[in-house]
């Protein structure tokens, strides 16, 4: 399985948080590929700068360090991902999550997420 991590899933993996379900943990560990979108990196940076997401170090060090430690690849955003947003119904108001849905559809990835609004899209998801 090729997985795209929701931002919260990445953060919970990083901190070994109890919010990460046993199923989600198993899927993450068993995946053939695991990706973190640049959209999630942007979301983490924005929330950190607003004081809503404290991190043990600056995001530009923290995110790559955690990705590397867990074998998570960086997923850039391309034009196809961005333009596909226009085909999505307005179910989710969060622009970061909408971009994850778009990337998942365009690239054939399964989103690892607990977010019920993402579950409403025609996208493969697990939790």
The two tokens of residue 66 are 């955690």
pLDDT for 83:
98
pLDDT category of residue 66 using cuts at 50, 70 and 90: very high
Domain range for 96: 2-126
Contact 5, 35 (CB under 8 A): yes
Which tens digits make up the pLDDT trace of 4-57? 999 999 999 999 999 999 999 999 999 999 999 999 999 999 999 999 999 999
Say what the pLDDT of residue 43 is: 98
What tokens does 45 get?
């940076």
Tell which residue, 41, 10, 32, has the closest CA to residue 112.
10
Q: What would the two tokens of residue 56 be? A: 């043990």
| Confidence at residue 62, expressed as pLDDT on a 0 to 100 scale | 98
- HEC sequence for the chain: CEEEECHHHHHHHHHCCCCCCHHHHHHHHHCCEEEEEHHHHHHHHHHHHCCCCCCCCCHHHHHHHHHHHHCCEEECCCHHHHHHHHHCCCCCCCHHHHHHHHHHHHHCCEEECCCHHHHCCCCCEEC
- Total number of domains in the chain: 1
Q: Which CATH number does the domain housing residue 53 bear? A: 3.40.50.1010
Angle subtended by helix axes 7-15 and 38-49, to nearest 10? 70
């Amino acid at each position: 399985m090729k997985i795209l991590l929701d931002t919260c899933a990445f953060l919970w993996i990083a901190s070994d948080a109890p919010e990460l379900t046993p199923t989600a943990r198993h899927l993450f560990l068993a995946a053939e590929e695991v990706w973190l979108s640049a959209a999630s990196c942007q979301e983490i940076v924005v929330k950190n700068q607003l004081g809503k997401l404290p991190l043990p170090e600056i995001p530009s060090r923290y995110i790559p360090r955690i990705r590397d430690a867990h074998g998570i690849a960086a997923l850039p955003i391309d034009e196809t991902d961005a333009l596909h947003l226009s085909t999505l119904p307005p179910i989710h108001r969060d622009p970061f999550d909408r971009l994850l849905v778009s990337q998942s559809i365009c690239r054939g990835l399964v989103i690892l997420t607990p977010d019920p609004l993402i579950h409403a899209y025609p996208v493969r998801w697990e939790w």
